[in-house]
């Protein structure tokens, strides 16, 4: 919402300066977006007289002018054809900024003649594109007059960000009312001359709706004007509209725009000579088309309200008028529309047609229903004043206008809800100034009548806000919160603990944390998730068109740009959501990490080693162990998907839950991202770790300080190739879980020296006696058990 200071002062009698007004507006909830004070920009430009203009000695098209200003005479070289002795123009002295051409003016020499300033064209002043001639002023102006005053630039423009609830402040008058209530002067009474009609209108307003649809247009009024003269608007009107960014068109159109912004009352004017018969408000017929003032044709549907005469459509209700009956400078007969429309219906229509207008903006936020009466009078007053003509009696078709809302309000509410006690008298004054009527009731309760221009006010909480915003939010004294010591709920739930903790743990393994979009290209989503991508209906671009089923595509796409920055190896992770469906259960929190290039960079100490599966395995084991996952219990499963290398990856399962996936990433996936390096990665399914985060007790199990000598025994076996290490380890431990503390694999090899399809595995078994030191025969017995188990269950042959 834009307006000028002088416009505001039509409604507000105030001595406050612009700064106070701006601060007050913001403090009462009308946030000032910007203030433009052009007079500052133009303060060095003044009226000057060309006392002598002669031809430039060295150029045919140039003139040398002697210019008289209030600061003395200057010589100016000028190229304009109309520069001539005796004229009044606008002089810009040297060392000033010319806004239209964005040029800093310097003393210069043009074809050998010194030029000390400039006579400005309209383009140079920044008020039009005219550049052929310099501005020529009439004799009413005097040498030295500031230019800002002449062109109305001395009137600052204020723009306010009006929140959607404040439809009353989509008018200069509404803003003035709020400022008056805030103590910045008084609201000037609105004078409306009721002009009596001299004849009966030939056009009538009709509403044709089923009973249940009448709410779509609760009423419409208007009157007929004949013999009007639709000229261009007077200067004051044009300059106000121009100041707020509207283009003056003709008096009739400008008047409707003016009243829309001045009083928040949208109007429409029809060229009555182009109407056939009466005007009817009705629902559109599906498939009907309407050509509108924006010179477009819209296809309408049944839920829209249209204005129609006997032959044609003349507008879309509450949104825009029709092209055919629009007013032009030739218009002599006018019929006006002052209507009310249902806000939701206008919103739906506007959205469907993708059509924004000042009228729609106001109707969808709510227009004062009583304006159907005073709106006709305001329009009549301005039209007859500016365009002359004669007016008919008023034509209207309306349901009963909604009554004012009544709210019973306990004045203690400012304390209980707002946190500040305010005297009932002060509360009443504020409400009265805002247009509310207040009656005392029992005790602290008052009865409040809400003005019709405040559709946003519904209940006591709204009243508290009205009082407080005028009284001042700054007067509420803050009270610090204290922790409720009876509430011993943990800050983080078990689930969130693993989420937040996992980040620190993974970063502690040398990974950089990133945050990437929850979206990916649907091509990648489909590739990873077997063509069941979750697509966004209105994505901002195709590469962000689906919800990600995996974070790997985002992490992978960062590799090449970073390689280009000479990060030839890297570790990157993200803990964020993956999406496998639309429901809450389909969203998984996943810690996804990748590492590429060498696991350690090549240096004087060692040669670089390419990162491998056991690097990432080490990382996830660290993270899982720190998150209390019993890692000895993890079961390994083969992974078959488009993300991981089928032979160099595994899935970790505990009970029924998939805890993690890890391995080398599938080269076919890497190819899609044009990645040359080996990339290993992991996914840890954070939600599945919740059960391990539940805090039981801080007390640890008693320490077992076993004094007996620990013994180690090494074995080396030849196995069939498909034997899995974890099975060996787990089965050996099962022989005696108490005594066999650890099984360590210290060597694995395959190769030419061994028979085909065989591999050699060397194990170290750590034995801990429980009650006394082992005897040789006891150790021998355990060793035999181990060898027996391995040869029987795994086909292992002991190597000597």
Region binding another protein by CB under 8 A among candidate stretches 146-154, 289-297, 396-404, 598-606: 598-606
Q: Does 266 bind another protein (CB under 8 A)?
A: no
Residue of 69, 242, 433, 518 interacting with another protein (CB under 8 A): 518
Upper half-sphere CA count for residue 692 (Cβ side, 13 Å): 22
Least CB distance to another protein at residue 481 (A): 5
User: What 3-state class would DSSP assign to 340?
Assistant: strand
Name which of 761, 599, 593 is nearest 681 in CA terms: 593
Rule CB under 8 A: which of 148-207 touch another protein?
163-166
Closer by beta carbon to another protein, 139 or else 486: 486
Supply the DSSP symbol for 214. Answer: G
Least CB distance to another protein at residue 607 (A): 13
Q: Does 555 bind another protein (CB under 8 A)?
A: yes
Task: Identify the burial level of 419 via C-beta atoms within 10 angstroms of its C-beta, where 0-12 means exposed, 13-18 middle and 19 or more buried.
Answer: middle
Supply the DSSP symbol for 105. Answer: -
Please give the Cα distance from 240 to 222 (Å, whole number): 26
Least CB distance to another protein at residue 405 (A): 15
Least CB distance to another protein at residue 469 (A): 4
Least CB distance to another protein at residue 672 (A): 17
Q: Does 28 bind another protein (CB under 8 A)?
A: yes
Closer by beta carbon to another protein, 233 or else 411: 411
CB 525 within 8 A of CB 548: yes
CB 665 within 8 A of CB 679: yes
**Per-residue x/- mask for another protein, residues 564 to 583, rule CB under 8 A?**
-x-x--xxx---xx-x--xx
Tokens 């196995």 found at: 719
Q: Does 465 bind another protein (CB under 8 A)?
A: yes
Region binding another protein by CB under 8 A among candidate stretches 234-242, 512-520, 658-666, 762-770: 512-520
The string of DSSP letters for 722-787 reads T--HHHHHHHHHHH-TTTEEEEEEEEEE-STTSPTTEEEEEEEEEE--SSSPPPHHHHHHHHHHHH
Q: Does 562 bind another protein (CB under 8 A)?
A: yes
Tell me the two tokens of residue 325.
């009956």
Residues whose CB is less than 8 angstroms from the CB of residue 796 and which lie 6 or more positions away in sequence, other chains included: 717, 718, 719, 723, 761, 790
Closer by beta carbon to another protein, 326 or else 553: 553
Query: Which residues partner with 792 through β-bridges?
Result: none
Least CB distance to another protein at residue 583 (A): 8
Residue of 211, 491, 698, 777 interacting with another protein (CB under 8 A): 491
Least CB distance to another protein at residue 364 (A): 6
How many CB atoms within 10 Å of residue 309? Answer: 20
Q: Does 344 bind another protein (CB under 8 A)?
A: yes
Tell me the two tokens of residue 163.
């929140």
Region binding another protein by CB under 8 A among candidate stretches 330-338, 444-452, 513-521, 700-708: 513-521
Q: Does 455 bind another protein (CB under 8 A)?
A: no
CB 735 within 8 A of CB 786: yes
Q: Does 496 bind another protein (CB under 8 A)?
A: yes
Name which of 249, 256, 226, 223 is nearest 329 in CA terms: 249
Least CB distance to another protein at residue 21 (A): 15
Task: Identify the burial level of 546 via C-beta atoms within 10 angstroms of its C-beta, where 0-12 means exposed, 13-18 middle and 19 or more buried.
Answer: buried
Q: Does 674 bind another protein (CB under 8 A)?
A: no
CB 132 within 8 A of CB 126: no
Rule CB under 8 A: which of 414-453 touch another protein?
415-420
Q: Does 677 bind another protein (CB under 8 A)?
A: no
Closer by beta carbon to another protein, 101 or else 600: 600
Q: Does 604 bind another protein (CB under 8 A)?
A: yes
Closer by beta carbon to another protein, 143 or else 494: 494
Closer by beta carbon to another protein, 63 or else 688: 688
3-state secondary structure 21-40: HHHHHHHCCCEEEEEECHHH
Closer by beta carbon to another protein, 333 or else 413: 413
Q: Does 493 bind another protein (CB under 8 A)?
A: yes
3-state secondary structure 566-602: CCCCEEEEEEEEEECCCCHHHEEEEEEEEEECEEECC
Nearest-Å Rg of the Cα atoms of the chain is 42
Rule CB under 8 A: which of 139-158 touch another protein?
none
Q: Does 526 bind another protein (CB under 8 A)?
A: no
Please give the Cα distance from 264 to 359 (Å, whole number): 9
User: What 3-state class would DSSP assign to 50?
Assistant: strand
Residue of 11, 226, 238, 365 interacting with another protein (CB under 8 A): 365
User: What 3-state class would DSSP assign to 241?
Assistant: helix
CB 380 within 8 A of CB 374: no
Residue of 469, 552, 666, 683 interacting with another protein (CB under 8 A): 469
Q: Does 478 bind another protein (CB under 8 A)?
A: yes
CB 173 within 8 A of CB 262: yes
Residue of 83, 275, 464, 627 interacting with another protein (CB under 8 A): 464
Q: Does 755 bind another protein (CB under 8 A)?
A: no
Q: Binding-site residue total for another protein (CB under 8 A)?
A: 100
**Per-residue x/- mask for another protein, residues 304 to 343, rule CB under 8 A?**
---------------------------------------x
Least CB distance to another protein at residue 218 (A): 17
Please give the Cα distance from 493 to 755 (Å, whole number): 55
Tokens 């990432």 found at: 616
Tokens 């031809």 found at: 55
Least CB distance to another protein at residue 316 (A): 16
Q: What are phi and psi of 47, to 5 degrees?
A: -75, 135
Residue of 474, 607, 756, 776 interacting with another protein (CB under 8 A): 474
Least CB distance to another protein at residue 86 (A): 49
Residue of 123, 352, 503, 713 interacting with another protein (CB under 8 A): 503
Q: Does 407 bind another protein (CB under 8 A)?
A: no
CB 479 within 8 A of CB 523: no
Least CB distance to another protein at residue 304 (A): 14
Closer by beta carbon to another protein, 130 or else 303: 303
Rule CB under 8 A: which of 90-129 touch another protein?
none
Q: Does 476 bind another protein (CB under 8 A)?
A: yes
Q: Does 258 bind another protein (CB under 8 A)?
A: no
Residue of 15, 354, 443, 603 interacting with another protein (CB under 8 A): 603
Residue of 87, 468, 613, 732 interacting with another protein (CB under 8 A): 468
Q: Does 722 bind another protein (CB under 8 A)?
A: no
Q: Does 412 bind another protein (CB under 8 A)?
A: no
Closer by beta carbon to another protein, 38 or else 166: 166
Least CB distance to another protein at residue 438 (A): 19
Contacts by residues 53-57 (CB-CB < 8 Å, ≥ 24 positions apart): 53/78, 53/83, 53/84, 53/85, 56/110, 56/111, 56/113, 57/112, 57/113
Helix axes 613-626, 494-508, angle to 10 degrees: 140
Region binding another protein by CB under 8 A among candidate stretches 38-46, 563-571, 632-640, 659-667: 563-571
Q: Does 495 bind another protein (CB under 8 A)?
A: yes
Region binding another protein by CB under 8 A among candidate stretches 168-176, 384-392, 460-468, 790-798: 460-468
Name which of 676, 647, 787, 674 is nearest 728 in CA terms: 787
């Amino acid at each position: 919402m834009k307006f000028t200071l002088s416009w505001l002062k039509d409604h507000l009698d105030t001595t406050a300066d612009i700064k106070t007004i701006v601060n007050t507006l913001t403090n009462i909830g009308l946030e000032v977006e910007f203030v433009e004070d052009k007079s500052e920009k133009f303060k060095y430009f003044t009226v000057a007289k060309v006392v002598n203009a002669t031809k430039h000695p060295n150029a045919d098209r140039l003139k040398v002018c002697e210019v008289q200003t209030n600061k003395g005479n200057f010589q100016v070289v000028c190229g304009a054809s109309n520069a001539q002795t005796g004229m009044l123009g606008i002089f810009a002295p040297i060392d000033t900024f010319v806004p239209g051409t964005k040029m800093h003016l310097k003393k210069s020499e043009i074809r050998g003649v010194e030029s000390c300033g400039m006579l400005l064209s309209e383009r140079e002043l920044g008020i039009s594109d005219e550049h052929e001639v310099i501005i020529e002023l009439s004799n009413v102006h005097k040498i030295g007059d500031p230019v800002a005053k002449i062109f109305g630039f001395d009137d600052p423009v204020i723009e306010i960000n009006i929140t959607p609830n404040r439809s009353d402040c989509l008018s200069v008058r509404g803003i003035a009312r709020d400022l008056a209530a805030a103590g910045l002067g008084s609201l000037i009474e609105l004078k409306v001359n009721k002009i009596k009609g001299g004849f009966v209108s030939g056009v009538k307003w009709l509403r044709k709706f089923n009973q249940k649809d009448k709410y779509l247009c609760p009423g419409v009024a208007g009157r007929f004007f004949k013999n009007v003269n639709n000229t261009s608007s007077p200067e004051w009107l044009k300059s106000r509209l121009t100041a707020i960014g509207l283009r003056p068109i003709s008096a009739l159109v400008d008047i409707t725009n003016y009243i829309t912004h001045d009083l928040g009352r949208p109007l429409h004017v029809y060229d009555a000579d182009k109407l056939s018969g009466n005007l009817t408000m009705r629902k559109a017929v599906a498939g009907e088309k309407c050509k509108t003032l924006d010179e477009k044709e819209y296809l309408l549907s049944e839920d829209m309200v249209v204005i129609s005469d006997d032959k044609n459509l003349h507008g879309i209700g509450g949104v825009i008028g029709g092209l055919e009956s629009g007013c032009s400078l030739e218009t002599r007969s006018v019929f006006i529309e002052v209507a009310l429309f249902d806000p939701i219906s206008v919103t739906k229509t506007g959205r469907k047609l993708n059509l924004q207008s000042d009228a729609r903006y106001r109707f969808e936020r709510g227009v004062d229903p009583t304006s159907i009466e005073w709106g006709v009078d305001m329009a009549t007053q301005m039209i007859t004043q500016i365009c002359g003509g004669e007016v008919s009696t008023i034509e209207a078709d309306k349901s009963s206008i909604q009554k004012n809302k009544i709210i019973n309000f306990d004045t203690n509410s400012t304390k209980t809800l707002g946190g500040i006690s305010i005297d009932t008298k002060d509360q009443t004054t504020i409400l009265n100034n805002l247009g509310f009527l207040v009656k005392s009731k029992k005790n602290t309760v008052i009865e409040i009548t809400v003005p019709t221009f405040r559709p946003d006010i519904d209940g006591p909480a709204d009243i508290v806000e009205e009082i407080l915003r005028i009284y001042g939010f700054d007067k509420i004294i803050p009270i610090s919160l204290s922790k409720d010591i009876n509430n011993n709920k943990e800050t983080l739930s078990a689930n969130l603990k693993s989420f937040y903790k996992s980040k620190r743990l993974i970063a502690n393994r040398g990974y950089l944390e990133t945050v990437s979009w929850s979206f990916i290209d649907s091509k990648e989503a489909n590739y990873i998730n077997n063509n069941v991508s979750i697509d966004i209906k209105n994505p901002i671009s195709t590469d962000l068109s689906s919800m990600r089923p995996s974070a790997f595509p985002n992490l992978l796409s960062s590799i090449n740009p970073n390689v280009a920055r000479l990060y030839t190896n890297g570790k990157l992770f993200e803990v964020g959501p993956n999406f496998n469906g639309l429901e809450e259960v389909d969203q998984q929190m996943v810690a996804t990490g990748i590492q590429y290039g060498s696991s350690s960079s090549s240096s004087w100490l060692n040669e670089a080693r390419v990162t491998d599966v056991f690097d990432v395995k080490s990382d996830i084991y660290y993270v899982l162990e720190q998150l209390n996952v019993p890692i000895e219990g993890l079961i390994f499963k083969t992974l078959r998907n488009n993300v991981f290398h089928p032979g160099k990856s595994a899935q970790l399962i505990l009970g029924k839950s998939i805890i993690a996936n890890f391995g080398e990433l599938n080269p076919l996936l890497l190819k899609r991202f044009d990645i040359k390096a080996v990339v290993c990665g992991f996914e840890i399914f954070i939600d599945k770790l919740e059960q391990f985060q539940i805090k039981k007790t801080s007390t640890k199990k008693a320490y077992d300080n076993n004094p007996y000598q620990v013994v180690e025994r090494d074995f080396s076996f030849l196995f069939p190739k498909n034997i899995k290490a974890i099975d060996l380890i787990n089965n050996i431990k099962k022989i005696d879980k108490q005594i066999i503390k650890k099984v360590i694999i210290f060597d694995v090899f395959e190769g030419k020296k061994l028979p085909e399809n065989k591999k050699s595995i060397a194990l170290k078994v750590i034995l801990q006696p429980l009650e006394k030191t082992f005897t040789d025969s006891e150790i021998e017995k355990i060793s035999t058990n181990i060898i027996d188990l391995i040869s029987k269950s795994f086909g292992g042959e002991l190597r000597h």
